[in-house]
Each structure stands twice: as C-alpha cells, then as structure tokens.
Amino acid sequence: MHVVSPALDEGPLALPQTGHRIDRHDADRQREDWLAEVWRRPGTRVLRVTGDRVRRTADGARPALEPAHGELPVGTVYLGEVPAADLAADLAADLAGASDEVSADAPGGVHVVAVEEPEDDHADAAADMVSTFMLRRDAAELAAVDAGLLTQAVAILAWHRGAPFCPACGAATEVRSSGWMRACPQCGAQSFPRTDPAVITAVVDRDDRLLLGSAVRWDASRYSTFAGFVEAGESVEQAVAREVAEEAGVDVVEVRYLGSQSWPFPRSLMLGHLAVVDDAERAVADRDEIRHVRWFTREELAAETAAGRIGLPPRSSISRALIEHWHGGRIEDAEPHPGPQTPVRDRDRDSSRDHRRDEGGDRR
Ligand SMILES: [Zn+2]
C-alpha cells in the first residue's frame, strides 16, 4: 500500500471501552448454579444500570458498585471477574479486609453482576445528569474497567429487553447461562446476544487531508466521519467503499482497519477504518443523510474546532478516536467540559438501526 497518511501506520486506536481485563468466565457462567453462587459471595459487587446510566459513587469519581445482598434479583446478568487492582482504591481496601472466603474464592478478583434498574419517570432528569455516568456521554471519563463493565451491561440488558419471545415459535423464553442465553421451553431454540457490525471510516486524500460530513439531523456545524451498517451478503471492505461513495461521492482505493468499539445503542459493533481516495475533488454530500462535506488539513480542523466554528463527535465515540488518530493527537474542543442540554433517556428506548445519530448525535 502506498502510504499517504502517517495514521495508516500508527498503532491501534485509543478507545475508552477497551484495555480492561474482565474475565467473563465463559465455562463457569454456563453452569446453572453459577449466578446464585456468585451472588452469595461477600466480595461480589452489583452494577445497577438504567438505560445507559449508572449511579456515581458518593465522591462522583466512579460508577457505584454495591455489595450483593438479599435474594438474587430476576434478570441478573453475570459480567465477569475484575482484578482488585483495577477497582477503586476504597473498594479494593474494603475487599482486602473482608472474609477469607473472598480471597479463597477469587484471589485478587471481584465478581461483578449487572441488574437492570427500571426508569423512574418521576426522577429529576437534570439531577440525573449530575449523579450518573452515561455511557454515551461519559465513557472517555471512565477507567477502562468501568467503561468495559458498563458497556457490557448496557449491551446485554438491551438484548434482554428486546428478546422476551422465541424467534422460531413465539413462546416466552427463559434466561440461561447466567444471562447469556435465552432458551425456548416450547421448541428448544436457543438465542444469544446479537451484535450488528457497522463500518465507520475516516476518509483521507493523497495530500492527507481529512474528509468529514455534517449530517442532516445534526446542527450544521457538527462534523463527523462516515458510517453505516454492513449489509447482508457484504464484506466489511465493501461496506466501507459503499458507504463512503453513497454519502460523500468519492471512490475508496485503499482501506485499512484500525480498531473496533462496542456501541450498544442498541447493539452495534463499530469497525473503524481509514480509507484513501484519489478523487478528492469529486466529494459531494448525498443531501439525504449528509448535508455538507468538507476537506480539512490538520491545522484547519484544530483551529476551527478550538474556535467553536465546528463541533466534533464526543470523546466516547470511535469517530472522535479516528479523527484524533489521523490528527496525530488530541484536538481541543471550544468548551473544555460541555454537558448535554437535554436528557438522553428517551433515546435509550429507541431501537432504531440508525447508529449515525448515536455516533454523532450527542446534544452537547
Ligand atoms: Zn420456540
């Protein structure tokens, strides 16, 4: 490949949800008694998730992990075992002082389960903004292990909400494998959590400029990379070329995979690429999904963003990671800590396959 951009030869993308060490205990979690056994262990911790939100600890620094007590709640899902060293210092110290059973069962590790906390329609949305971490908004703020646990919990709980009935015969299904499978008591069909592959692409030309698009559904100053679902019967590379041609009118001549990110809204796996085009002058927005496309040099993009003339996707998104990967470093936003203006919760219920809004559609 003729290298036109240093970004093609750099290491993997810096993504908030990766880089953790969570042992999912695949063999153990298939045991019928595993979840009940884990629930009884004094060291086990519970992540209570509403949509894509989780309550913060009292100091606001990390997602709250509560001890497990009482009856095992229906719908509990096993997430995995986390090294104690990766947990918040106070929790790790707490566990070190706990009973021998903890250290005997899980030397250095803590089992974490997820429980869905129903929406409280009377809750104060503005207060929620402050007292919770939202995966879509805050993933980049979280420690890798916390982002990993929350991503996993949001994904698997969304699957359960959408899969109460057997796809083969329509009977109500039963949860098995500590929350990782649903079985039909009528016809025996088994269903597993689904993930939909989507491609997301940073397009560069031979001068190493970056092409970004402003989607019709965002405000006109917001720019992002190009994305779409892999269609039936299509390879990932074909999907990259098709999406870029459809949305921006240019032909991809080279493409390189750079990394992936789970984006559980409700179940996408974003496959990040950098693509090279030869026909930069032909770039044109499709006007259907993309309002406007524009080529940027590194200096232009940094300057326009810092001045607030354009907005980039949130730091939690792979789109931002792709853009900064091309740029060769962090790009500062005009406002250092912008917060969303409106609650995100209505969109958590949305099962639309349109991830583009999710990728770029935060309302900062
Ligand atoms: Zn069935």
CATH code for residues 196-361: 3.90.79.10
pLDDT in tens, 118-163: 888 888 888 887 899 999 889 888 999 999 999 999 999 999 999 9
The confidence score (pLDDT) of residue 126 equals 82
Q: Which residue has the higher pLDDT, 117 or 86?
A: 117
pTM, whole model, 2 decimals?
0.85
Question: How far is ligand 1, taken at its centre, from the CA of residue 175, in Å?
Answer: 13
Centre of ligand 1 from the C-alpha of residue 52, in Å: 30
Residue 87: predicted pLDDT: 79
Cβ count near 313 (within 10 Å): 24
Contact by Cβ (8 Å): 117, 75: no
If phi > 0 it is left, if psi is from -120 to 50 it is alpha, else beta; for residue 239 that is alpha
Dist. CA 10–CA 7, nearest whole Å? 5
Residue partners of 3: CB distance under 8 A and separation at least 6: 9
- pLDDT range class, residue 348, cuts 50, 70, 90: very low
The whole-angstrom separation of Cα 364 and Cα 137 is 9
**Cα-to-centroid distance, 191 and ligand 1 (Å):** 10
The sign one gets for the Cα dihedral 361, 203, 7, 20 is positive
Q: How far is the CA of 168 from the centre of ligand 1 (A)?
A: 5
Give the model's confidence band at 85: pLDDT under 50 very low, under 70 low, under 90 confident, else very high.
Answer: confident
Distance 164 CA to ligand 1 centre (A): 11
All residues at 6 or more sequence positions from 294 whose CB lies less than 8 Å from its CB, including other chains: 211, 212, 213, 214, 223
CA 32–ligand 1 middle distance (angstroms):
20
How much distance in Å is there from the Cα of 181 to the middle of ligand 1? 13
pLDDT band at 96 (very low <50, low <70, confident <90, very high): low
Q: Name the residue with higher pLDDT: 219 or 103.
A: 219
Tell me, in angstroms, the distance from the centre of ligand 1 to residue 189's CA: 5
- For ligand 1, the distance from its centroid to the CA atom of residue 192, given in whole angstroms, is 13
Lowest-confidence segment of 53-62, 223-232, 265-274 by average pLDDT: 53-62
Instruction: Summarize pLDDT for 24-67 with one digit per residue, the tens.
Output: 999 999 999 999 999 999 899 999 999 999 999 988 889 999 99
Distance (Å) from CA 25 to ligand 1 centroid? 27
Give the distance (Å) from ligand 1 centre to CA of residue 74.
21
Task: Kindly list the protein residues that place their beta carbon closer than 5 angstroms to ligand 1, a single-atom ion.
Answer: 166, 168-169, 171, 184, 186-187, 189
Upstream peptide bond of 266 is cis (omega within 30 degrees of 0): yes
User: Nearest Cα to 312, choosing from 304, 287, 247?
Assistant: 304
Contacts of 204 (CB under 8 A, 6+ apart): 4, 5, 7, 210, 211, 274, 275, 276, 277, 326
- Would you kindly state where each structural domain of the chain is located, as residue ranges? 26-159, 163-194, 196-361
